[in-house]
Structure formats: structure tokens, C-alpha cells
């Protein structure tokens, strides 16, 4: 195994896996695409390494770069303190998240990780930070200076990736937290960046707060749209960036790589048409709040089937939102499906919904289902939790119940 520590001092290495005389034994592993150095007692190490490979495979299924070059180096520090010592010894400061250290020679570059305390296997590393850095390691392992939209857009796209240890499958999800920001930016003439300008952007041209979400939305659009010319452009762009027939390293400058792919875009797609297609696509995407509001509006209008569909779609994004669960109960209650309503209300309570409101709803649901004993308990709870709102109303219903 090739071990590339570059300028890392012996002192820093002492912090990598332990502290001084208490340093622990280290181990090495070589997977298909990675050379990994890690604490020998790392919990479920093989499971973690399998997840790294699976995420890399998911990335490669998008890019299809020719396979070659050195193994990607991964260094797993014992804990956050060891990570801080390692990174600050190189950069003079530490980082709050995992870090990919890029060097001119891809064989010297390395991804620095540490496990989350109390977790093992994939769960010790899982999350957007791991996904971003694995992507950057993959990308920079083939291209010295990728176009900015490729780097940032796909970083944001792969943030959402999740690995299932039971199946070995990586999913990227149908929804991204970047959608709301991207929609707001696209609707702001002062900050919206047309597709052709996103593709041509170089480092420093735009504020990252504007560029990053819109690069994500451009990438997502080209991956999702049914218009084949965009998929063709992506395919051609990746082939051009892969560059050499023998799988050699693309050492071109960012400006040259960017010009290469923008020229291909101009040959395939009219910039004005691309802007219309992109604007139409992003306008049609619903944020979570829009999904939730659509369901609430349908419920208010009595369109319970449409409300169920909207809430089901919203549940794919935030399944445990107390407001969503409560409204799903309201829909079933209005449709006289009392057992289903009861179940949703209970889930809402468990998720942290407001106690008095949900208990009032449970009481009405139980009364409609002639479960008077249960209704009495719910009414008492609603009254006790919020006497100003439910005290008088609860007393009226309680007094009307059979003794």
C-alpha cells in the first residue's frame, strides 16, 4: 500500500490514532478504490469501508469516468481531537467537518475522517460532509481543475446520498433542502444566474451563496428533465473532461475545461431555450412547505383524496413533521375513517405536536366513533393542557356525555 503523508510531521502522526504513550495500534486496508489507514479497533471497519465504496460507485454511475490512476487515500483519525491536530498541523487551523486535502499529485491527496463518538460502521461517518468529500476525492482524482458548476452542483447533489447497509444500495433522494433557496434565487432577477452563465462561471465570479444552490438546481434539472439534449450534453461534457483515451489525468486549467464544455453546450442547446426550459422546470418543483400547503388547501376545500396525495408526497420529505401528521389525521376524520385518524393523531403527539390541540382532535374523533370513555379522557387532557382555549368547550362536551 502506498502511504502518502507529504509534509505531515511525526508529531502530527502521533496524534492521528492516539495521544503519546497511549497511542493505539493502527491498521491498513486496501479496497477496490481506496487505501485506508485507520485505528485498529475502529468499530465495524469493514462495514464503513463498504459504504465508502458504495457511495463512490453511485457517483461513478453518473460520471462514468474511465477507471484508472492511484487508489484514493483515506486517513481515519481516532476522534475529533486527533482530526484537529492532524489538520491544524498542515493548514495552521482545523475544520468543523471532514476534509479532502488536495495536492498536485492525486496520489498524495487524501481524505481525512474521524468516527462520530458512540457510533460504528457507516453510521459513524454518514452524512452530507462524507458525501461531499468522497465526491471531491473522486472528481479531483480525475480532473485537476473541474468546471465550477460540476464541482459545486454535484457536491450539492450528492449531499443527499444515503447508504443502506442492509441492501448495499445508495439513494440520492427525490428532494433536496437546496430546492427552496434555489427557487427563491431563480425568482430574483438580481440574483438569478441563467444556465449558460452557470456553465461558464469561473472561481470568484459569483458569491457562493448565490452560485452553489443554483449550480445544484442546474445539475438536478439536467439529470431529471425528459428532454434528451440535456442528458446528451452531460454525457459529452464528462467524456470531454475525462479527456484522454488511455484514462490519463486531466491536468488542464479550470478556464480551459470550462471553455471545453461550454463550447459543447453551445453546439447542442440554444441558451435562450435552455433558460426557458430551466425556469419552467424549477417553477414546477414544489418545496416541502408548498406540498404541505397544497394538502391543507385541498383539505379545506373538501377534496380529501387530493389532500391525501399531497400529504403523502410531503411525507417523503419530512415524514415526522407533527403538523403534517396532524393534518393527515384531520383528513381521515373528515372522511369518517376514525381508526386511521386516531393513528395519525397519536403519531403527531409522539412527534411533538401541541398536546391540547391533538387531544381535542382525538376527543372529537372518539366521540364520532362512539368511544365515549376515551373521549372523556382526551377532553380532560385538552382542558388541563390549555384551559383558556379548551376549558369551556371541553366542559360542555363532558357534561353532555352519559354518566
Question: Under 8 Å CB-to-CB from 342, ≥6 apart: which residues?
Answer: 329, 362, 365, 366, 369
Q: What are the two backbone dihedrals, phi and then psi, of residue 99, each rounded to the nearest 5 degrees?
A: -140, 130
pLDDT tens, residue by residue, 295-304: 999 999 999 9
**Residue 314 DSSP SS3:** helix
pLDDT at 175: 87
How far apart, in whole angstroms, are the C-alpha atoms of residue 321 and residue 173?
Answer: 18
> Does residue 230 register a pLDDT over 60?
yes
pLDDT at 106: 82
> Does residue 19 register a pLDDT over 50?
no
pLDDT tens, residue by residue, 58-69: 999 999 988 766
Residue 82: which region, alpha, beta or left (left: phi > 0; alpha: psi -120 to 50)?
Answer: alpha
The DSSP symbol for 250 reads B
pLDDT at 70: 72
pLDDT at 215: 98
How far apart, in whole angstroms, are the C-alpha atoms of residue 161 and residue 175?
Answer: 11
pLDDT tens, residue by residue, 261-315: 999 999 999 999 999 999 999 999 999 999 999 999 999 999 999 999 999 999 9
CB 286 within 8 A of CB 294: yes
Q: Determine what percent of the chain is predicted with pLDDT higher than 90.
A: 86
What is the mean pLDDT of the segment spanning 174-187?
93
> What does the chain come to in residues?
403
Average pLDDT, the chain: 92
Give buried/exposed letters for 49-73 (b at 16+ CB in 10 A, else e). Answer: bbbbbbbbebbeebbebeeeebbbb
pLDDT tens, residue by residue, 136-172: 999 999 999 999 999 999 999 999 999 999 999 999 8
**Residue 72 DSSP SS3:** strand
pLDDT at 41: 94
Sequence-ordered strand ranges (E) for 31-129? 34-39, 72-76, 99-101, 110-113
pLDDT at 20: 45
**Residue 275 DSSP SS3:** helix
pLDDT at 246: 60
pLDDT tens, residue by residue, 39-90: 999 999 999 999 999 999 999 999 998 876 678 999 999 999 999 999 999 9
What is the mean pLDDT of the segment spanning 371-375?
95
> In 64-204, which residue ranges form alpha helices assigned H by DSSP?
80-91, 128-140, 148-159, 178-186, 195-200
Considering only residues 374 and 105, tell me which one the structure prediction assigns the higher pLDDT: 374
What are the structural domains of the chain? Answer: 10-142 (3.40.30.160), 178-284 (no CATH), 288-400 (1.25.40.10)
Q: What are the two backbone dihedrals, phi and then psi, of residue 352, each rounded to the nearest 5 degrees?
A: 105, 20
The x, y and z cell numbers of residue 378, run together, are 382526551
pLDDT at 255: 97
* Long-range pairs, 347-355, Cβ under 8 A, ≥24: 348/322, 348/323, 351/320, 351/321, 351/322, 351/325, 352/322, 353/322, 353/323, 353/325, 353/326, 354/322, 355/381, 355/382, 355/385, 355/386
How far apart, in whole angstroms, are the C-alpha atoms of residue 364 and residue 371?
Answer: 10
| Dihedral angle sign, alpha carbons of residues 239, 228, 181, 113 | negative
Distances (CA, A) of 80 to 5, 97, 115, 132: 19, 9, 8, 18
Q: Determine what percent of the chain is predicted with pLDDT higher than 70.
A: 92
For the chain, the first-to-last Cα distance in angstroms comes to 80
> Does residue 14 register a pLDDT over 90?
no
How far apart, in whole angstroms, are the C-alpha atoms of residue 159 and residue 173?
Answer: 10
**Among candidates 396, 324, 322, 326, which has minimal Cα distance to 361?**
326
pLDDT at 251: 87
The DSSP symbol for 223 reads H
pLDDT at 173: 80
pLDDT at 343: 98
Amino acid at each position: 500500500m502506498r502511504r502518502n503523508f507529504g509534509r505531515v510531521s511525526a508529531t502530527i502522526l502521533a496524534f492521528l490514532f492516539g495521544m503519546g504513550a497511549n497511542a493505539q495500534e493502527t491498521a491498513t486496508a486496501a479496497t477496490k478504490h481506496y487505501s485506508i489507514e485507520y485505528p485498529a479497533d475502529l468499530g465495524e471497519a469493514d462495514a464503513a469501508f463498504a459504504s465508502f465504496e458504495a457511495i463512490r460507485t453511485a457517483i461513478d454511475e453518473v460520471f462514468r469516468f474511465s477507471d484508472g490512476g492511484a487508489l484514493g487515500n483515506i486517513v481515519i483519525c481516532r476522534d475529533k481531537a486527533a482530526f484537529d491536530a492532524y489538520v491544524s498541523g498542515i493548514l495552521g487551523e482545523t475544520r468543523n467537518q471532514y476534509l479532502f486535502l488536495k495536492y498536485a499529485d492525486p496520489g498524495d491527496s487524501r481524505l481525512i475522517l474521524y468516527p462520530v463518538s458512540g457510533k460504528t460502521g457507516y453510521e459513524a461517518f454518514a452524512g452530507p460532509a462524507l458525501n461531499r468529500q468522497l465526491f471531491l476525492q473522486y472528481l479531483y482524482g480525475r480532473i485537476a481543475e473541474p468546471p465550477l458548476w460540476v464541482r459545486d452542483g454535484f457536491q450539492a447533489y450528492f449531499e443527499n446520498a444515503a447508504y443502506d447497509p442492509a441492501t448495499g444500495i445508495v439513494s440520492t433522494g427525490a428532494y433536496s433542502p437546496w430546492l427552496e433557496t434555489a427557487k427563491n434565487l431563480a425568482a430574483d432577477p438580481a440574483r438569478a444566474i441563467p444556465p449558460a452563465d452557470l456553465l461558464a462561471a469561473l472561481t470568484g465570479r459569483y458569491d457562493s451563496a448565490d452560485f452553489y444552490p443554483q449550480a445544484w438546481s442546474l445539475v438536478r434539472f439536467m439529470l431529471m428533465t425528459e428532454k434528451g439534449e440535456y442528458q446528451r450534453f452531460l454525457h459529452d461534457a464528462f467524456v470531454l473532461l475525462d479527456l484522454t483515451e488511455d484514462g490519463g489525468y486531466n491536468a488542464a486549467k479550470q478556464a480551459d475545461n470550462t471553455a471545453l464544455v461550454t463550447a459543447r453546450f453551445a453546439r447542442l442547446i440554444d441558451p435562450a431555450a435552455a433558460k426557458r426550459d430551466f425556469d419552467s422546470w424549477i417553477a414546477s418543483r414544489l418545496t416541502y412547505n408548498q406540498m404541505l400547503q397544497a394538502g391543507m388547501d385541498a383539505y379545506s376545500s373538501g377534496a380529501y383524496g387530493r389532500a391525501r396525495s399531497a400529504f403523502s408526497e410531503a411525507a417523503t420529505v419530512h415524514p415526522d413533521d407533527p403538523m403534517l401528521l396532524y393534518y393527515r389525521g384531520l383528513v381521515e376524520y373528515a372522511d369518517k375513517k376514525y381508526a386511521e385518524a386516531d393513528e395519525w393523531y397519536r403519531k403527531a403527539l409522539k412527534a411533538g405536536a401541541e398536546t391540547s390541540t391533538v387531544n381535542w382532535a382525538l376527543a372529537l374523533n372518539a366521540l364520532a366513533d362512539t368511544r365515549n370513555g376515551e373521549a372523556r379522557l382526551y377532553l380532560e387532557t385538552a382542558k388541563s393542557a390549555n384551559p383558556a382555549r379548551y376549558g369551556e368547550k371541553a366542559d360542555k362536551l363532558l357534561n353532555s356525555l352519559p354518566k
